[in-house]
Amino acid sequence: MFWEQLLNGLTLGSTYALIALGYTMVYGIIQLINFAHGEIYMFGAFVGLFLVTVAGADLFTALIGAMIFCMILGMLVERIAYRPLRGKSSRLSALISAIGVSIFLSTLMALIRGTNTTRYPNILEINTYHIGGLEISSLQIIILVVSALLMIGLQLLIQKTKIGKAMRACSQDLDASSLMGINVNRVISATFAIGSSLAAAGGVLVGIYYNAVWPYMGMMAGLKAFAAAVLGGIGSIPGAMIGGLTLGVMEIMGVAYLSSSYKDAIAFAILIIVLIIRPQGILGKKITKKV
Amino acid sequence: MEAFLTQYIDAYYLRIFVLIGINIILALGLNLITGVTGQLSMGHAGFMSIGAYTAAILTMQYQAPFWAALLAGALLAAFFGFLIGIPTLRLEGDYLAMVTIGFAEIIRVFFLNFEPGGKAVGLYGMPPNTTFVLVWGIVIVVILLNAKLLDSRTGRALYAIRENEIAAEASGIDTTRMKVLAFTVGSFLGGLAGGLYAHYMSYIAPQDFGFMKSIEILNMVVLGGMGSIPGSILGAVILTIAPEMLRIVADYRLLFYGGLLVILMIFRPNGLLGDVRIYDIKKRWFKKEVG
């Protein structure tokens, strides 16, 4: 029982982590809570659905198609709604702009698809394996493996490539990076592209796992993922991974051992408690304020 | 007076005027926390729901007089605001934003499972005690007291915290006390508005006070102009009327609403009346000084 719940928690948590990465990467560079990120995730789920049902794609084609689509969508959102505001306004105006995009995108999808829940077709044969008394479905294995691969890929990208190096530089000091000849706008664009594609992957995986997608699915998922990013220490990439997994496990455990009607409250209660004890999040850096 | 109004003004317009009044109280409360003191709170609807449910339960189930129920709701909301104010001593910026989001979500889930509050169905049949005259009477008192507060030593201390917390502290401002004060007074106003709302609509349910409601109130403050009383009033007026005006585009209403937020932020990044204080307007009009 406990181990199975732990596995469920890790599965849920790895999807939170995929979304949380986008929040934390964008935040790390331009200190913006990108509230439209949940809607990018929702679009990812729908594009995946479209590819599977209309184009008859298999899971991995759908996954990659959704990632590419959201990559472009994310860059477009940044270009239209955030870049014109950069440098001349407070962070809060950018936040409101992000909320505007979020409302726009979810309404757009509701107009296209209607507000009802759509079922994902069964594109996989789901087998259940028993490993030492532990029940694990092939779906869970796929979600865990795909998330793990994406996260490893992201780590490599950030640590080993030139654009990754530029991203790290920008997250330390945007102005200094600009002075060193880094094209800051391009780096920010790339950050949105990468973050959005991870969210799209999360969307497709969640769509298959829960077998349902709907236009307003982005809001709660976005809030939870943001909570995960903050829990891990916002701006920190390993933090987002740990935060996502922790939140997923805690939530499933809370539902299993406490109460299912308080499901959404449990995640936030844990978050508040952790933040009161450790205000900078699990892996966040303590910032000494200077005048 | 009320009889006169209901006789000569169309019920639809009267209703919009009352909702504008309630929204002004909400916006002024949040303006104190976020606009003036600079503490990003994204859970104002949580305080509103505490006021609404407390007042509704008191008048319906305990036959309390309306004014007492209103006051009790506002005081309970203020108490929770005080509690939320305490972690702000350690948290800042977006960590605080996350705690306020989490708090409001926990309150919402609590009311979803709260037997005396009718659970998910909500409460209905509150006596419709909230009248046009009462709401606008309270609005005028709130505006005057708010202006008085912001033009006082305390008000300037609050602005100082927003501008630079360390400098404020170095100037001898008890930043802790001031921040908790802003939260307490702001959430008192939120609770008051909630009580008025409950006794105007005669129906409340947990989903009325979700994340989107908090965001709506924040939009009023930011759109109008952070820290400005006339700004918050203007923001409340525009964002109450806008959805009504947008009814002509029917299904596309929220699409326009979202787009409008983005466009307004791009062209007026500091809000429509960013930092215009009543004091400045007075100075401009009466002394003909141009700032």
User: pLDDT, tens digit, for every residue of A119-150?
Assistant: 887 777 777 888 777 788 888 888 999 999 99
What pLDDT is stored for residue A282 in this prediction? 78
pLDDT exceeds 60 at position B291: no
Can you give the residue range of the structural domain that contains A118?
Answer: 9-219
Q: What is the ipTM of this complex?
A: 0.80
Task: Considering only residues A277 and B43, tell me which one the structure prediction assigns the higher pLDDT.
Answer: B43
Q: Over pLDDT 90: what percentage of chain B?
A: 29
Residue A76 distance to chain B (closest CA, Å): 14
Q: CA of A109: which chain B residue's CA is closest?
A: B255
In tens, the pLDDT along A259-290 reads 777 777 887 888 888 888 877 777 776 555 54
- Among the listed ranges A26-30, A149-153, B50-54, B245-249, which one has the minimum average pLDDT value? B245-249
Residue A233 located in a structural domain: no
Residue from the list A100, A102, A230 with its beta carbon closest to the beta carbon of B95: A230
Please list every residue in chain A whose beta carbon sits closer than 8 Å to the beta carbon of residue B40: 92
Residue A61 located in a structural domain: yes
pLDDT exceeds 60 at position B289: no
Residue A280 located in a structural domain: no
- Among the listed ranges A81-95, A167-181, B181-195, which one has the minimum average pLDDT value? A81-95
Do the chains contact at A85 and B266, CB–CB below 8 Å? yes
Phi-psi region of B203 (alpha: psi -120 to 50; beta: other; left: phi over 0): beta
Cβ neighbourhood burial of A113 (10 Å; 0-12, 13-18, 19+): middle
For the ranges A1-10, A222-231, B68-77, the maximum mean pLDDT occurs at: B68-77
- Counting the structural domains of chain A, the total is 1
Residue with tokens 């860059």: A75
Residue A267 located in a structural domain: no
What pLDDT is stored for residue B290 in this prediction? 44
Task: Considering only residues B98 and B217, tell me which one the structure prediction assigns the higher pLDDT.
Answer: B217
Task: Considering only residues A193 and B287, tell me which one the structure prediction assigns the higher pLDDT.
Answer: A193
- Among the listed ranges A277-291, B181-195, B249-263, which one has the minimum average pLDDT value? A277-291
Residue A287 located in a structural domain: no
B75 — pLDDT class (breaks 50, 70, 90): very high
What pLDDT is stored for residue B195 in this prediction? 92
B264 — pLDDT class (breaks 50, 70, 90): confident
Strand partners, B203: B124
Residue from the list A33, A100, A271 with its beta carbon closest to the beta carbon of B102: A271
Residue A264 located in a structural domain: no
In tens, the pLDDT along B125-157 reads 888 888 888 889 999 999 999 999 988 888 888
Alpha carbons A34 and B158: distance in angstroms, whole number: 28
Task: Considering only residues A256 and B25, tell me which one the structure prediction assigns the higher pLDDT.
Answer: B25
Q: How far apart are the first and last CA of chain A?
A: 53
Q: List Cα–Cα distances, B72 to A274, B68, B138, B185, in angstroms.
A: 31, 6, 16, 14
Residue A271 located in a structural domain: no
pLDDT exceeds 90 at position B242: no
pLDDT exceeds 80 at position B121: yes
* DSSP state letter for B273: T
Q: Contact at 8 Å (CB) between A192 and A67?
A: no
Stretch A175-180: mean pLDDT? 90
What pLDDT is stored for residue B287 in this prediction? 55
Alpha carbons A189 and B9: distance in angstroms, whole number: 52
DSSP string, chain A: -HHHHHHHHHHHHHHHHHHHHHHHHHHHHH----TTHHHHHHHHHHHHHHHHHTS---HHHHHHHHHHHHHHHHHHHIIIIIGGGTTTS-HHHHHHHHHHHHHHHHHHHHHHH-SS-EEPP--SPPPEEEETTEEEEHHHHHHHHHHHHHHHHHHHHHHHSHHHHHHHHHHH-HHHHHHTT--HHHHHHHHHHHHHHHHHHHHHHHHHHHTEE-TTHHHHHHHHHHHHHHHH-TT-HHHHHHHHHHHHHHHHHHHHHT-STTHHHHHHHHHHHHHHHSTT-SSPPPPPP--
Q: CA of A100: which chain B residue's CA is closest?
A: B258
Task: Considering only residues B256 and A181, tell me which one the structure prediction assigns the higher pLDDT.
Answer: A181
Do the chains contact at A264 and B109, CB–CB below 8 Å? yes
Q: Contact at 8 Å (CB) between A215 and A42?
A: yes
Residue with tokens 């596309």: B252
Residue B220 distance to chain A (closest CA, Å): 10
pTM recorded for the entire structure: 0.83
pLDDT exceeds 90 at position A189: yes
Residue with tokens 């205000």: A279
pLDDT exceeds 50 at position B10: yes
Residue A34 distance to chain B (closest CA, Å): 12
Residue A251 located in a structural domain: no
Stretch A40-64: mean pLDDT? 89
Do the chains contact at B211 and A219, CB–CB below 8 Å? yes
